[in-house]
A = this chain, B = another copy of it.
Amino acid sequence: MTDIINRPDASDGDEREARKEAVRQGIELLFFAYRDFTAEPDAILAEYGFGRAHHRVVHFVGRHPHMTVGELLGILRITKQSLNRVLGQLVRQGFIMQQRGAQDRRQRLLLLTERGRELEERLSAPQRARVGAAYKKAGAAAVEGFRKVLLGIIADEDDRRRFAPPRPPRR
């Protein structure tokens, strides 16, 4: 269960050190990848006078239409005061619409407008290109590993549940 690698001639100390170094490299890889992964959308956002927070809102509302403000707060893990400035700008400038909830009329269900979809498309394009190219280059097996490790890093069980296998076997 613990055998990461089968090495007959390494001592436990070396083994542990090598593993520790591998983990530290993983940490650093995450930093670099995230840094570059956000750089291109950030440049586009600047045109609109928006920041990374706006991207996150547009992304999640795009992927989960009719989500509530509370759900969005739970995903982003920020306060409603922080969200409100960003969300308010997006609503006032016509990127996001709010609909009264049908069952619970206190809820404001969030939706992208046409303009919002265009923005989402522009912002995600460089990220999709970057990640898509990395996927293609690394191959399907590597992508499976990438997903597995990232899922292991995510703390919250509910958040992990968002990620069903990419192609669930139908029937």
A residues near B (Cβ < 8 Å) are: 2, 4-5, 18-37, 39, 56, 59, 63, 77, 124, 127-128, 130-156, 159, 162-163, 166-167
Contacts and interface: CB of A to CB of B under 8 A. Distances in A.
Given A134-B153, A166-B25, A35 B145 contact: no
Of A18, A31, A128, the most chain B CB neighbours within 10 A belong to: A31
Nearest to A142: B145
Copies of this chain per assembly: 2
Contacts of A29: 146-147, 150-151, 154, 163
A145 B151 contact: no
Contact of A145 (B77, B124, B131, B146): B146
